[in-house]
Structure 1
Amino acid sequence: MTKASSMAGPSRTAGRINRRSKSAGPEPYDFRRPTNLSREHIRTLQIAYETFARQFTTILTTSLRAVSQVTLISIEQFTYDEYISSLSSPTIVAKLSMEPLPGTAIAEFSLAIAMTSIDHMLGGSGGPQPERPLTEIEAPLLNGLMDRMLGELRYAFEGIASTRPQLTGIEYNPQFVQAGGASDPVIVASFEMRVGAEECVMTICLPFGMIFPKLQGDRNDVQLSPAQRAAREAAHRNLVAGMESVPLDVAVRFQQMRMRPEDLINLRPGDVVTLNHPTTQPLAVTTAGLTFAHAVPGTQGSRLACLVVAPAKEEDRR
């Protein structure tokens, strides 16, 4: 899986954007951590983030009086540690609350873009910017721009959840941001962000547990046409019918017993191994290690068989 990372310099940032936009080959898949977002979820987020990108483009252009552009690149799932490790330092890492949703979201973009935006707000023409923390005069200017950005984020997400995004703090080193556990899954949206001649990849990181329940609810509340409902019901019937015909390995088992290694090694044909299974207790019928029925042994014609019976009562097992 390709990670997102933010670069401060224009040339390095441009190279990164090109790599992300042109990557169309196969990607590694970790079966230990399957992706839980369906295509419907991705599409729902894509619509919201594309709306946000258009609105934020307008905010930047009118506020900075400079040609600006914000374009959605991708929506991907990472762990929190993978996301934080992919970010450069220093950078702008804005911590966001999304009340009433739980958790902390993150909006991240390059320090160079932040300084260029502030320069335009102060009447400058952009150009090379110093790489340093914001001053007491510059910080409120960026906070004001961020507040307007969060207003557009709230508007874009109205179709998914009613939220009140608020800026709760800004860090310059991603490692100092504690917004989740290292293995917590997060959903990261990457945007190509341009302000004048400066460009970078901006990211918005949402905890998986924050947004996934809302995506599920949104999907369940979708109004379907009669044709869509009939197609979904037919697909469900076909799935159930297909699952009912899948062959499974079934075993009829006695209770487990313990033996010492030396006893196992010394076993010879004709030896008798005493089982702990009571004669009054039926055998367990299992599949994939799960017991789903009980049975007593028998025969049917020339074959061994078992008769499914009710499980033994607790007093019969004693």
Structure 2
Amino acid sequence: MRIEERAPGHAPAEAERRIEVYDFGRPATLAREHARALELGFETFARQWATQLTDKVRVRAHVGLEQVSLTTYGDYAGSLPSTTTIVACGVPDSEPNTIVQLPLSAALSWIIQMVGGRAVDVVDERALTPIEQALIRHLVTDALEGLSTALGGLLPRGLAVAGIQYSPQFAQLASAGDPVIIARFSLRLGERTVPASIMLPAGPVIDRLSSATPAAPVENAPALIRRQVEETAVELAVRLTPHRVHPADILGLSVGDVLRLPHAADRPLDLVAGDVPVATAAVGTSGARLACVVTAITASHDHAAHSEELR
């Protein structure tokens, strides 16, 4: 990111403008087909997760997918509460790179219900005991199996719980600038609704998505660009020769004033598309409507050169 230097005499708002350099190697958003595939997979997982939670926590659960987005690990970690349940996951013999996150108070409440206790709202958050960690590991392990099935091979095989942490600031599972895919959920168990999220590394997931839905061959790019240009709607307008006036002349206009235009009465009008002349035309009619009759096509050297580039 570059920050413009403040120049003497410039207004503070102008001097503090920031220019964000776009990195094509790390796109800011998911491709539409990739986002849709992930949304379908996470929605399927949400239904399966709700069934698992209902069975294990012994309270009717509903899990809804709120959002799927592409962001950086630093932004994701900064969006989490200062204390929460971060279940780090990964494949054996490798660094964990996946997170299942849920509120620590919700995890403590679920544990009480899993061992036969009554539903209570836990206020004092604390670290989980070894037995409580084992219960949460078991709960998340089943969720990971459902996630792998729902996403259809986008996750590596053998994904398992690697550890549990409580501070997003200390759970350094990736560099701050690394792109990650975030799925945010709302979990309603009984009368209580809490947020939860799942983080996946963007690189491997997008690579697998691209392999499953390959893009069009590069050699087809010129034809695709030409088709896109040809199918994009543009506005056509019929224009007289413009006449330059001073602002005082415009402010002094009143009803009945006559403006002399530098357009000869026998000269055709200009047919323009986005202020670019494309043809000349004469005024005509079509039924009860005004129309224009094209009299000549304007073909500039620049247009011809641009057409050759598209070919």
Above 0.5 in TM-score?
yes
* Distance across 1 between alignment mates of 2:79 and 2:175: 16
Match of 1:119 in 2: 112
Match of 1:52 in 2: 45
Match of 2:309 in 1: none
The count of corresponding residues between Structure 1 and Structure 2 is 206
Give the superposition deviation at 1:194. Answer: 1.8
* Between 162-171 and 37-46, the greater mean CA deviation after superposition: 162-171
Give the superposition deviation at 1:234. Answer: 9.1
Match of 1:7 in 2: none
* Distance across 1 between alignment mates of 2:69 and 2:20: 14
2:183 corresponds to which of 186, 189, 193 = 189
Give the superposition deviation at 1:119. Answer: 1.1
* Distance across 1 between alignment mates of 2:151 and 2:49: 13
Look up the equivalent residue of 1:237 and give its one-letter code. A
Look up the equivalent residue of 1:92 and give its one-letter code. T
SS of the residue corresponding to residue 164 of structure 1 reads coil
* Distance across 1 between alignment mates of 2:201 and 2:169: 17
Give the superposition deviation at 1:161. Answer: 4.9
1:96 corresponds to which of 68, 89, 104 = 89
Q: How does 1:217-232 map to 2 (within 5 A)?
A: 217-220=211-214
| 2:157 paired with 1:163 | yes
* Distance across 1 between alignment mates of 2:121 and 2:155: 40
Match of 2:143 in 1: 149
Distance change >3 Å, CA 160–CA 182, structure 1 → 2: closer
SS of the residue corresponding to residue 151 of structure 1 reads helix
Q: 2:182 touches 2:199 (CA, 8 Å); kept in 1?
A: yes
CA RMSD of aligned residues (A): 2.9
| 2:225 paired with 1:239 | yes
TM-score (norm 1): 0.59
Give the superposition deviation at 1:151. Answer: 1.2
Distance change >3 Å, CA 125–CA 207, structure 1 → 2: same
Match of 1:41 in 2: 34
Give the superposition deviation at 1:85. Answer: 0.9
Give the superposition deviation at 1:125. Answer: 1.9
Give the superposition deviation at 1:137. Answer: 2.2
1:32 corresponds to which of 16, 22, 25 = 22
* Distance across 2 between alignment mates of 1:99 and 1:241: 48
Q: 1:150 touches 1:166 (CA, 8 Å); kept in 2?
A: yes
Distance change >3 Å, CA 65–CA 115, structure 1 → 2: same
2:75 corresponds to which of 82, 91, 112 = 82
| 1:52-99 deviations in Å (ceiling 9; x for gaps) | 101000000011110111110001111111110111121000111157
Structure 1 portions without partners, runs of 5+? 1-28, 222-228, 244-318
SS of the residue corresponding to residue 181 of structure 1 reads coil
Look up the equivalent residue of 2:138 and give its one-letter code. G
* Distance across 1 between alignment mates of 2:50 and 2:228: 49
Distance change >3 Å, CA 218–CA 98, structure 1 → 2: farther
Q: 1:52 touches 1:152 (CA, 8 Å); kept in 2?
A: yes
Give the superposition deviation at 1:236. Answer: 6.2
| 2:134 paired with 1:140 | yes
Higher-RCO chain (CA-CA 8 Å, sequence separation at least 6):
1
Match of 2:236 in 1: none
* Distance across 1 between alignment mates of 2:148 and 2:224: 40
Q: 1:119 touches 1:126 (CA, 8 Å); kept in 2?
A: yes
* Distance across 2 between alignment mates of 1:204 and 1:149: 11
Distance change >3 Å, CA 89–CA 156, structure 1 → 2: same
* Distance across 2 between alignment mates of 1:242 and 1:188: 32
| 1:107-127 deviations in Å (ceiling 9; x for gaps) | 111011101111110111211
Distance change >3 Å, CA 133–CA 101, structure 1 → 2: closer
Q: 1:157 touches 1:163 (CA, 8 Å); kept in 2?
A: no
2:205 corresponds to which of 197, 207, 211 = 211
TM-score (norm 2): 0.60
* Distance across 2 between alignment mates of 1:58 and 1:207: 26
Q: 2:63 touches 2:186 (CA, 8 Å); kept in 1?
A: yes
Give the superposition deviation at 1:100. Answer: 10
Look up the equivalent residue of 2:190 and give its one-letter code. G
* Distance across 1 between alignment mates of 2:145 and 2:20: 36
| 1:239-282 deviations in Å (ceiling 9; x for gaps) | 15778xxxxxxxxxxxxxxxxxxxxxxxxxxxxxxxxxxxxxxx
Q: 2:65 touches 2:186 (CA, 8 Å); kept in 1?
A: yes
SS of the residue corresponding to residue 105 of structure 2 reads helix
